[in-house]
Amino acid sequence: MYEEFLEDIAQTNGLREVNTYLKLVAGLGTILLCLLSSSYIAPLFIATVLSGAILILARIDARTYAELFIVPFSFAVMSVAVIILLSGGNDVYWSWNPLSWFSLSITRESINEGFFVFCRVIGGMSALIFIAVTTPMTDLFVVMRQCRVPEVVLDLAMIIYRSIFMIMDQLVQTYQAQVMRLGYGSFRESIQSFATLCGSVFIGSWNAGEDLIRAMDARCYSGKFAVLGETRPVELSSVLAVAAFLMMSSLVVIFSGNSTLL
Amino acid sequence: MHIMEGFLPLYWAVIWWIVALPCLIFGIYQLKKVLEADREALPLLGVTGGFIFILSSLKLPSVTGSCSHPTGTGLSAVCFGPWITSVVCAIVLLFQALFLAHGGLSVLGANIVSMGIIGPLAGYIVYRSLRDTRVNMYLTVFLACALADLFTYVTTSLELALAYPAEVGGIVSSFVLFMGIFAVTQIPLAIVEGVVLALVFKYIVSLKPDILLRLKVFPEEKIRVARSEA
């Protein structure tokens, strides 16, 4: 699972050369629209359009995209079930009152509410995945610097970014070596092996991090990473596409009003 | 578990951002001070951040269908205090949203409050109250890490319950229900996490104790005694 981060996909996606701000406006704008909408229609509309953009324009493998959705999807189903059981309404289909302060019921209103939240999660997730697969972190660092994110935070963010990959490398190697030596045979052994794994990788990548800082110090690092920001041209066609998409989504939000599933 | 994108209504997302921001600003201020005093802390901060990222991405599917994972924030809270940890966590949560589609951007505030502020704060309080007593150093780290993990989940449940109160019993009964769902997987996980992080801490004590002394994590004597026992 870890061998392929979204980052690798983002580096080679079809929308790589589109201006970063434009992609962020599209992604963040739709997240906001999903939250502002009070009906399930707008989030579904947004999810459909963005999924199309991800699959066709960014040329992301459909299988990868589906796999990304599985975890949030299963969690959404679970949490929405809780919401349906907890919230009440007038049209009761089923109810159960084991305690005076605790009751579960399924009503028309609660199904509407649950379905609405479910669609909002789907809409929001597709917008998030859209940003994730089209914009590599390196581009976002440039944006963060231009937005005056404090230098020290940016610095730490880049060190963490680097150490994630260092830790990953060592973790995979050590873990495979442990598995080959039957390190995860029983529960007790698993805990022991996992702790050894974490400990040795922690120290190992800490050393690597110190080497990195020392190497950078030797090259006049003063607590400020120089990021070479490529400024990507803003193309008229993509501006129009994003504007049209946001306009249409806003219209859907306004006209769908409070319409519900049932 | 992180709350995911779109799950919280707009006003709750905004409220949690407002709660998180002052803590982050104070954390950034502290971070600046620590780094000015001791540049060597930077690699350690980076590695702790990377570790939090990886530990909290280990999603274990739970019986109930939601997912649980360790948080790994306790160790950072012990070494650097809760406010710097909140900054590290904010960065990590942003990365997780953008690398793994885990969590979200509008709900980032809520996730920072649960995993970056309340959890580490709980761990830190335990650590501070036990640090200068005769309680074993590793036991202290274990308790701090396990409680940091548990309180993260208590806060997440509270955030969910506040946004979706039950019809009967209101916030309290939905809080109980959300807590119940998490407790099944989270209590054993918190214990495992505490054990693992305490063992990692033992590694640091035996291999690189100097940084712990400089950050004044534990009194010198305790570390010396622990080293001579090992």
Per-residue model confidence as pLDDT tens digits over A146-204: 888 888 898 899 889 888 888 888 888 898 999 899 888 888 888 788 888 888 888 88
- B contacts of A109 (beta carbons < 8 Å): none
- B contacts of A120 (beta carbons < 8 Å): 6-7
Domains contained in chain B, CATH given? 10-224 (1.10.1760.20)
User: What does the pLDDT read at residue B60?
Assistant: 55
pLDDT tens-digit map of B103-160: 889 999 999 999 999 999 999 999 999 988 888 888 999 999 999 989 998 998 898 8
* Phi and psi torsions of B84, nearest 5°: -65, -40
Give A233 to chain B, closest Cα distance, Å: 23
Find, in chain A, the residue whose alpha carbon is nearest to that of B30: A152
State whether residue A166 sits within 8 Å of chain B by CB. Answer: yes
DSSP state for residue A219 in the 8-state scheme: T
Give B98 to chain A, closest Cα distance, Å: 5
User: What does the pLDDT read at residue B178?
Assistant: 81
Please report the ipTM that was assigned to this predicted complex: 0.88
Q: Show me where the domains of chain A are located.
A: 6-135+233-256, 142-218
* Phi and psi torsions of B216, nearest 5°: 55, 45
User: What does the pLDDT read at residue B143?
Assistant: 93
Nearest Cα neighbor of B45 from B34, B36, B55, B54 is B34
For A152, residues 6+ apart whose C-beta sits below 8 A from its C-beta are: A223, B28, B31, B32, B35
Three-state DSSP at A199 gives helix
Both tokens of B137, joined, read: 């150093």
User: How many angstroms separate the CA atoms of A162 and A159, rounded?
Assistant: 5
- Whether the pLDDT of residue A3 is over 60: the answer is no
Q: What average pLDDT does the structure give for chain B?
A: 85
CB of A137 within 8 A of CB of A160?
A: no
Three-state DSSP at B67 gives strand
pLDDT digit string (tens) for chain B, length 230 residues = 678 888 889 999 999 999 999 999 999 999 999 888 877 788 889 988 998 888 887 765 444 444 567 788 888 898 889 999 999 999 999 988 887 778 889 999 999 999 999 999 999 999 999 988 888 888 999 999 999 989 998 998 898 889 888 777 778 888 888 888 777 778 888 888 888 888 888 888 888 888 788 778 888 888 888 887 75
Q: Nearest by CB to B200, which of A82, A168, A195?
A: A195
User: What does the pLDDT read at residue B65?
Assistant: 41
- A contacts of B17 (beta carbons < 8 Å): none
